[in-house]
């Protein structure tokens, strides 16, 4: 079936503007992750959703970052009042509860804050 | 803290050569994955290998969980193998999040 999809693939925004990044996980996958890949920081965990449980937000770098997952499927990561240090590739991954812990990643959204 | 270390940081090969990439992790793991990040940034799953040995074509991987390392073998390398190879460890806990190594940048020259 289809893999994890993300949109937009690229986003250029001005400092101070808000952005929304979207992730469509693999159909039927119950767990969803957001990661960020930036120069100097590598790949780092941001937030985790599992079913109807409260999300684990421990990786979010500041309160300008938030995420939601509607209907247990699509997720949106929102960054408010973007800063230049938010420039990075934002990656989404999902897991099927019945397949162990193997994570499958989307193509990412490259965010550039000017 | 929990760490994942990869070596070498970069590697240049001639087409047809073999290579071994190493991943050391600092604690027992629930899962270890190897990824290839292609030039467009997509992370391609190579292996899900918390222990043992797996092979897929010219690639194989071995994880020795008791000694906390994993190896990725690339045989008869091709230019399309170029890119960054990441290992990532899942140490369990409530989220089973992945902790990534810093990657090995591989360049295969024709």
Query: Could you read off the pLDDT of B55-105 as tens digits, one per residue?
Result: 999 999 999 999 999 999 999 999 999 999 999 999 888 888 999 999 999
| Distance between B43 CA and the closest CA of chain A, angstroms | 6
Nearest to B98 among A37, A45, A100 (CB): A45
Predicted confidence (pLDDT) per residue in A4-26, tens digit: 999 999 999 999 999 999 999 99
Instruction: Count the Cβ atoms, other than its own, within 10 Å of residue B3.
Output: 11
Establish if A44 touches chain B: CB-CB under 8 angstroms.
yes
Nearest to B97 among A48, A100, A102 (CB): A48
What pLDDT does A97 receive?
A: 66
| Structure-token match 């990040």, residue found | B37
Cβ neighbours for A46, distance < 8 A, ≥ 6 positions apart: A33, A34, A35, A36, A59, A60, A61, A65, A67, A77, A90
DSSP structure class, residue B50: S
Using the predicted structure, report yes or no on whether residue B42 has a pLDDT greater than 60: yes
Which of the pair, B2 or A5, is modelled with greater confidence? A5
Residue of chain A whose Cα is closest to the Cα of B97: A45
| Structure-token match 């073998």, residue found | B73
- Residue A98: band (very low, low, confident or very high) from pLDDT cuts 50, 70, 90: low
Establish if A55 touches chain B: CB-CB under 8 angstroms.
no
Establish if B56 touches chain A: CB-CB under 8 angstroms.
no
Between chains, do A56 and B88 touch, taking CB under 8 Å as contact?
A: no
Predicted confidence (pLDDT) per residue in A70-97, tens digit: 887 899 999 999 999 999 999 999 997 6
Residue of chain A whose Cα is closest to the Cα of B84: A42
* Residues of A (58-77) whose Cβ lies below 8 Å from B: 58-59
């Amino acid at each position: 079936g289809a893999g994890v999809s993300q949109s937009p693939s690229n986003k250029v925004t001005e400092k101070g503007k808000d952005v929304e990044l979207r992730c469509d996980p693999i159909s039927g996958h119950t767990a969803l992750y957001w990661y960020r890949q930036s120069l100097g920081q590598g790949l780092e965990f941001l937030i985790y959703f599992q079913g109807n449980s409260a999300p684990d937000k421990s990786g979010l770098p500041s309160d300008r970052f938030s995420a939601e997952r509607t209907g247990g499927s699509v997720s949106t990561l929102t960054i408010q009042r973007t800063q230049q240090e938010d420039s990075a590739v934002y990656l989404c991954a999902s897991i099927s509860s019945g397949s162990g812990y193997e994570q499958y990643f989307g193509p990412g959204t490259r965010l550039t804050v000017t | 803290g929990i760490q994942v270390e990869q070596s070498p940081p970069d590697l240049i090969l001639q087409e047809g050569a073999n290579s071994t990439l190493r991943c050391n992790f600092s604690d027992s793991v629930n899962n270890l994955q190897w990824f290839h990040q292609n030039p467009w940034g997509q992370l391609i799953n190579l292996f899900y290998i918390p222990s043992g040995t797996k092979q897929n074509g010219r690639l194989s991987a071995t994880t020795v969980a008791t000694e906390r390392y994993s190896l990725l073998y690339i045989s008869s390398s091709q230019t399309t193998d170029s890119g960054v190879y990441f290992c990532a460890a899942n140490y369990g806990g409530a989220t089973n999040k992945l902790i990534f190594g810093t990657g090995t940048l591989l360049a295969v020259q024709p």
